[in-house]
Structure 1
Amino acid sequence: MSKIKTKHICQNCGYESLKWMGKCPECDRWNSFVEEVYDQKTKHDLFVLNDKKDNKPIPINSVEAVEEYRFSTNIKELDRVLGGGVVKGSLILVGGDPGIGKSTLLIQVSNEIAKQGMKVLYISGEESAQQIKMRGKRLNINSDNLYIFAENNLKIIEKQIDTLKPDIMIVDSIQTVFSPDITSAPGSVSQIKEGTSKFMKISKNLGITTFIVGHVTKEGSLAGPKILEHMVDTVIYFEGERYNTYRMIRAVKNRFGSTNELGVFEMRDLGLVEIENPSKILISERPKGVSGSVIVSTIEGTRPMLVELQALVSPTSFGIPRRMATGFDQNRVNLLIAVLEKRVGMQIQNQDVYINVVGGIRISEPAADLGIALSIASGFRNIEIRQDTVVAGEIGLTGEVRGVSFIEKRIIESKKLGFKRIVIPKNNLSGTEKVQGIEIIGVKNIKEALESVLGGSYGV
């Protein structure tokens, strides 16, 4: 009897070693190696992009450029994130925290696509057909072109794909699918790589658009090796708090579109409902007569959004004040506090500062700097910011307010929602004269911004 051969594989990055190691030399992760049995005689079906015998290099000018064929999912927010629709034969990876709504969105997508006359195969390795039917009944899903298949054996799945020949395929989830040719357990690096490679081959060779659900780790990244993200065409992340009604989808990789677009949904009893005007929803419950609240105009991809920022500044009884930020980079908040102390003279070093972006939205663009600084100053001086004011601008270390992009879109969105004035960088004033019906205030530095928003009493 031949000796069983094993190897140790890092479950974080896929690094292979003949012996166990406490720390992975590739990704520096501790205790990530798992022993797997392998057989050198086993042949894995590898994906080949072009297996023509006469394949050879050709000049780029002789290549015919054909625009990729897209079709709509009938869910505008998802189409926006994907770049205008789903590309036929693409492989799309959908990640997110447990319970955030990945399966709900994909079963709704399956139903909408099936209504268009296309054949959809929903493969579930986590739920039975009866459980999916119960959820589908709640979501009013009743298309005859939607097929449910509860299976996680890759060989059986392949046979059913050859028989059914679907146009769209949903795999929920890749961590539950396993190949019997590999001895390791489902969810291991080897199984994930084999399953993804197999679905990629099916998608490219047969022109089947495939959505793959991927689990995430406690750090928020997709479980499995990074090669999983490299193999697929598009990676979509679900964002938002599990107990918050709002959900955001964002593409972090997209070979067929932009990675800056954002789709906004609301979780209701009937499933995920798209929000076409998120600005109106996010600022609808803004409190009146309180300090520390300001409306910021931000851009997500090509969409302007108005978001409420809140700051709570209170004296601390400890030697080191506390700084917390939800929905915004905490290091950036610390930088803006330092600018307020140095360039304006506000004594905030003995104050606790808490920042919150209302609605579970996460802001990453620098144009929110001015809003953060003004909300902190408003909370510190206990002066209310006018309800009809919107701000946008990036702040430098010397206290200057730098220009931002898409300023006309920000102004038009603010005017559309009924705001009377907007504070922007002075460098952005040129070209805004044609926008009527809203007062546009240009500021050069943080002091001018404080004077225009809080008045001359913002003081130190």
Structure 2
Amino acid sequence: MENNSPNLLEVRTANQVLHDASLQPDPKLLYDPLIIQGELVILFADTGIGKTALSVQIATQIAKIGYQVLYVDLELSDKQFEKRYRTDEGQHFKFPENFYRAGYCVLKKFPEMGYEEFFIASLKRHIEETSATVIVIDNMTKIVAGSTDTAKCTIPIMNSLSEMKFGQGLTFLILEHNKKVDEWRPISLNDLQGSKMKSNFADSVFTIGRSAKDKNIRYIKQLKVRSSELVYDTDNVLICEITKVDGYLGFREIARGNELDLIRQPTENTRSSKIESATRLKNQGLSNIAIADQLGVTEGAIRKWLKST
């Protein structure tokens, strides 16, 4: 008896899956090693650290190799964007013609649908208009009516983006904020707002850290990958300098290094802060091993700290 009810899953033999997949082209590295074609990628970092500058730079480079790129800028006004990409003499940087930027427009009347639903509908329309295959959304906070740290508010949006990724073969780079990060410990996946839920949707996640030694120095660190090698880990972060050359604000690669050499070194005054952090994470249900990994210490130190509280 035929069942015409909706079905979420498609079942094939493993051998059939391998055969079908072999007929598809291998995904291409669009921005080595951070962006792979057909993936949903999350970039998160603190406010004012350069997420927008780096994501525009990534989008520009992808456009230069021939891909239609749509940059959804929900952060900067047109004037703020313009000031970033002009020289002191008023000359503008020349973006590729296949680099499109979308910003908010003034609405006289809001449609009778939810904000998230309206955003996705608008996004789909502009993707079709521009034939974009690579989409940057800056940032997640501006397209969710509630807090992006809650699954209830964020899952519908992430579901919609994932559906578009699979259904249309699109590549997404989604910008997001981080939680408050202690300056003396390495950045981890748990520092992403709504980390567990969002990282489950993402194919890869990377972050930007700030050097404690130089206000213009940043470092890029990968935290999750599915289809490529994890290149920029704690022992090998990509160190960059924020520069503006010929009217272009961007990141200039200067070296590779260890993240521990760039973050603020702990002092005796930070010991109490570490103990407070360990206690807070324990109350959140994390194991001693997971807490030790986050705080960059041994599991034995965590046991000792928790016993002292």
The bucket for the TM-score relative to the shorter chain is: 0.5 to 0.7
Out of 227, 252, 277, the residue aligned to residue 197 of structure 2 is: 227
Give distance in 1, aligned partners of 2:202 and 2:264: 38
Gaps of 5+ in 1: 1-47, 74-78, 179-183, 280-297, 313-320, 332-362, 367-460
Q: 1:188, CA displacement in angstroms?
A: 6.6
Q: Deviations over 1:141-171 (max 9, x none)?
A: 5221111101383322222122222021100
Q: Take 1:161 and 1:170, find their aligned partners in 2: how far apart are those partners?
A: 11
User: Residue 245 of structure 1 aligns to which amino acid in structure 2?
Assistant: N
Amino acid at match of 1:215: H
TM-score by length of 2: 0.64
Q: Which amino acid aligns with 1:207?
A: G
Q: CA deviation at 1:253?
A: 0.8
Looking at structure 2, the residues matched to 254 and 110 of structure 1 have their Cα atoms a distance apart, in angstroms, of: 19
Residue 140 of structure 1 aligns with which residue? Answer: 93
Partner secondary structure for residue 95 of structure 1 = strand
Q: Tell me how far 1:250 sits from its aligned partner.
A: 1.1
Q: How many residues align?
A: 237
| 1:120 and 2:66 correspond | no
Shift of 1:172: 0.2
Which one of 138, 142, 145 corresponds to residue 172 of structure 1?
A: 138
Map 1:40-189 to 2 at 5 A. 55-60=10-15, 63-64=18-19, 66=22, 68-73=26-31, 79-80=32-33, 82=34, 86-137=35-86, 140-151=93-104, 153-178=119-144, 184-185=145-146, 187=148, 189=150
Q: Which has the higher contact order (CA 8 A, sep 6+)?
A: 2
Give the structure 1 partner of residue 242 of structure 2: 267
Which structure shows the higher strand fraction?
Answer: 1
Measured in 2, the distance between the counterparts of 1:126 and 1:311 equals 33
Return the TM-score normalized by structure 1.
0.44
User: What CA RMSD, in Å, does the superposition of the two structures yield over aligned residues?
Assistant: 3.9
Distance 1:258 1:58, change over 3 A: same
Q: Distance in 2 between matches of 1:309 and 1:97?
A: 14
User: Post-superposition shift, 1:130?
Assistant: 3.6
2:155 and 2:263 map into 1 onto residues whose CA distance is 42
Deviations 1:367-423 (A, max 9, x none): xxxxxxxxxxxxxxxxxxxxxxxxxxxxxxxxxxxxxxxxxxxxxxxxxxxxxxxxx
In 2, Cα distance between equivalents of 1:308 and 1:149: 35
- Paired letter, 1:253: K
Tell me which residue corresponds to 2:209: 239
Q: Which residue of 1 aligns with 2:153?
A: 191
Identify, as 1 or 2, the structure richer in helix: 2
Shift of 1:201: 1.4
Structure-2 separation of matches of 1:228 and 1:59: 28
Provide the residue aligned with 1:322 in structure 2.
268
Which protein has the larger Cα radius of gyration, Structure 1 or Structure 2? 1
Whichever residue aligns with residue 137 of structure 1, its letter is R
Native 8 Å contact 1:265 1:272 kept in 2 = no
Q: Deviations over 1:193-235 (max 9, x none)?
A: 2222211211221111110001112247222362111111011
Change (3 A) 1:218 1:62: closer
In 2, Cα distance between equivalents of 1:264 and 1:277:
5
CA pair 103-61 structure 1, distance change in 2 beyond 3 A: same
Q: CA deviation at 1:268?
A: 1.9
Question: Equivalent pairs: percent with the same residue?
Answer: 19
